[in-house]
Amino acid sequence: MPQIHKVNKSIKCFVCEKAIQDNEVKYHTKVNMPVCEKCNGSEKEKLKAAQLLDGLAEGFVCGCI
């Protein structure tokens, strides 16, 4: 379930990158990025969140092994 915060007019949806004009801004809980009502819960949101999470470890190699 997304978190809800007060609106900031400069906030853009991390999925469609359009400005969020709602009174409240919802944040995706796993990536902690703002999401608009249109994209909230959509397949595009799930794919974008997965891409962001997959990209976090690219280029890093664990030195413990």
Residue 10 confidence (pLDDT) above 60? yes
**How confident is the model over 23-64, as pLDDT tens digits?**
788 899 888 999 999 999 999 999 999 888 876 666 666 666
Report pTM.
0.68
Give buried/exposed letters for 24-47 (b at 16+ CB in 10 A, else e): ebbbbeebebbbbeebeeeeebee
| C-alpha dist (Å) from residue 12 to 15, 17, 35, 57, 63 | 9, 5, 8, 24, 37
